[in-house]
Structure 1
Amino acid sequence: MSIKALVVGGTSGIGYGLACRVAAEAPSSSVIISGRNKPPNIPHPNMQFLRLDASSMREIKKYTDSFKASHADQKLDFLIMTQGVISLDGRTETTEGIDRNMALYYYGKQLLIRELLPVLKEDAKVIIVLNAKAGHPDKLNWNDLDLKKTFSLMGAASHCFTMTDGMIQQFAHQQQQAGNARRHFIHVYPGFVSTNISSSLPWYLRGPSTVLMRTVGVSPDTCAAYLLKGASEATAAAEKKVKFWNNIDQKGHEVAGKAVWTEDQRKKVEDHTWNIIDQALKVTARRA
């Protein structure tokens, strides 16, 4: 079966594993990988690279505008987002006024979804690889969602996980309201995967982290196999329940006990998200 997929963060690690597996399953498929740097090896002829700095809202907007113009007649079966970096720095703002980690892990992914909805097939799957297990609305600081006043590394991670949960439910709800309810929004927990992400850690942590990943982590290809199979099975089961969002774990199984957000909770996170993103776009436009 011919599949069209865009994998942001697909130039290394889990994203690269997902992109390669989709590309390998059918030569007629088309897979676009995006990130800061082109990988040294693109193993399949049906893969191509498009550069994107996914920490910049302005760059994402330019990228998506160009993508929509050039792919209007080639709609996507998959929008997969795995971008992120391990950093032990405190709050480090981009020129757009957003903490860089939160821009990569959360805000940029939401902007990509919003802008690329017009080029998603009616039954497309939107997959966010982050932490589908940990989020719960009770963990949010509702008075400081972007953590400008109360930032901590653990708090930033928790907010990114949790707000992702809220937004996949909000996107799914809006699709149902619009009468296009076959698109599925999936938040994934990948577990331990043997990647080179530890290279962004301080030198004294790289060795132990690498040993840990190699000891307990699965390969990116194995992770990709679990996640793609799980996404397919989870969406098929959820659709029977008229549900169009899922949280799945490292084996591709649905995460039990996830909170169903109230309309008010979803709306507060959505309003906050677009306010932060749209203000960032305006700030960058004025500085340009």
Structure 2
Amino acid sequence: MTEHATDDRVVVLTGGTSGIGRVAARNLAAGGATVAVVGRDRERGADVADADAGDTSGEVWFHRADLATKSAVRDLAAELRDAYDRIDALVHNAGLSVDARTETADGIELTLAVNHLAPYLLTHELFDMLAASAPARVVVTASDVHRRATLALDDLQLTREYDALAAYARSKLATIAFTLELADRIPDDAGVTANCVHPGFVPSTGLFRDAPLRTRLAVRVAGLIPGVGTTVEDAAGRVCRLVTDERFGETTGAYVVDGEPASPASEAADPGIRARLWTASADLVGVDPDWP
């Protein structure tokens, strides 16, 4: 264990160098947590850690990782296990949307790899540590845009047809299905809850910076409509609530909208579809599907 590990609650937060994640990291540290921020950009990560130094009762530490590949996710998990003696919450907030279909070094469609498979694999790699730190939580940033998608399990990687927004929506549908399936699989006495949250439509984040021009324009226009958009601060607060609110230390398997459990799209709630996605995901990342 390195010298920066503390006895405080430890929160691992991916996608924490900008947007919702950066504000969430700041808020959690302000509440006294040690926040392990994960991001791709070392300079932005250092800026996050430095900006909060001395201004909070907790701590912010940066861990660089590109979650697009299986090896990078496993290396991150090993680094986190070495750095901290406990993990009380694992927050999957990293996400992207890209213009054209792109494959990772593992041969996996990029949006699926980062938005869904990375949370699946990182949770697998760190679950024993979460259980040992119980009560602990897994929190996933989802999106209500998942309602416009279908999983199409016979073509998860969108080899037949690719559309950036459709790929993003499908990845969020997959993350919700994963969260609900994980919650059902966790033994009742493990002391680990799993919930996901719709943070709201946040047009000011950089999530769609790599999306097609038409998508970026649509996001910009939608953000100008009164009452449609959500501020980064409000969105981050919704994510933090699932980490800190006592209610979500007892509630598990919830898709949360505006602070309350809501019904996700039928595919996410379907046990048969969820089980098939779980097995397909295990195969794609190379783990035994019989976990946790």
Residue 190 (1) aligns with residue 199 (2): yes
- Aligned length, in residue pairs: 265
- List per-residue Cα deviations over 1:227-265 (Å, max 9, x = no partner): 3235626525xx3xxx6211012x222113664745533
How far apart are the structure 2 equivalents of 1:204 and 1:135?
Answer: 20
Q: Would you say the 8 A contact 2:99–2:210 is kept in 1?
A: no
The residue number in structure 2 matching 1:95 is 105
In structure 2, distance between residues paired with 1:117 and 1:84: 21
Asked if structure 2 preserves the Cα contact closer than 8 Å seen for 1:14 and 1:223, the reply is yes
- How many angstroms does 1:207 deviate by? 6.9
Match of 1:163 in 2: 174
Equivalent position of 2:152 in the other structure: 141
8 Å CA contact 1:21–1:221 kept in 2: the answer is: no
Please tell me the residue identity of whatever aligns with 1:130. Answer: A
2:279 alignment counterpart: 271
Change (3 A) 1:230 1:63: closer
Q: Deviations over 1:178-210 (max 9, x none)?
A: x41x31111211112232334334678757745
* Change over 3 Å in CA distance of 1:202–1:165 after alignment to 2: closer
Please state how far the C-alpha of 1:144 moved relative to its aligned partner.
Answer: 2.2
TM-superposed CA distance for 1:50, in Å, is 0.8
SS in 2 for 1:114: helix
Conserved 8 A contact 1:19-1:31: yes
Aligned to 1:252: 259
Q: What amino acid sits opposite 1:22 in the alignment?
A: L
Offset of residue 115 of structure 1: 0.6
TM-superposed CA distance for 1:269, in Å, is: 1.1
TM-score (norm 2): 0.79
Superposition pairs of residues 20-35 of structure 1, within 5 angstroms: 20-26=26-32, 29-35=33-39
In 2, Cα distance between equivalents of 1:25 and 1:211: 35
* 8 A contact 1:234–1:246 mirrored in 2: no
Distance in 1, matches of 2:214 and 2:174, equals: 32
Opposite residue 47 of structure 1, the aligned amino acid is: V
- Secondary structure at the aligned position of 2:11 is classed as strand
CA contact (8 A) 1:57 1:108 kept: yes
> Is the aligned partner of 1:225 residue 2:232?
no
Which residue is equivalent to 1:76?
87
One-letter code aligned to 1:126 = V
What letter matches 2:207 in structure 1? Answer: I
TM-score (norm. length: structure 1): 0.80
Task: Report if the CA contact (8 A) 2:146-2:265 is conserved.
Answer: no
Between the aligned residues of both structures, percent identity stands at 22
C-alpha contact 2:142 2:176 (8 A) present in aligned 1? no
Is the partner of 1:126 in helix, strand or coil?
strand
| Helix, strand or coil at the partner of 2:104 | coil
Question: Residue in 1 aligned with 2:20?
Answer: 14
CA RMSD in angstroms comes to: 2.9
The C-alpha deviation readout for 1:162-192, integer Å capped at 9, x for no partner, is 2222221222222126x41x31111211112
Q: For the Cα contact (< 8 Å) 1:196–1:210, is it kept in 2? A: no
Contact map agreement 2:182 2:194 (CA 8 A) in 1: yes
Indicate yes or no: 2:69 matched with 1:56: yes
Cross-structure match for 1:285: none
Cα drift, residue 212 of structure 1: 4.6
Shift of 1:49: 0.7
- Structure 2: gaps of 5 or more residues: 1-6, 54-58, 288-292
User: Structure 1 134/100 Cα, relative in aligned 2: closer, same or farther at 3 Å?
Assistant: closer
Distance 2:222 2:256 in 1: 23
Residues 141 and 11 (structure 1), Cα distance of their counterparts in 2 relative to 1, 3 Å cut:
same
Gaps in structure 1 of 5+ consecutive residues = 280-288
CA distance in 1 between partners of 2:13 and 2:76 (Å): 13
Give the SS at the match of 2:21. helix
1:130: how far off?
2.2
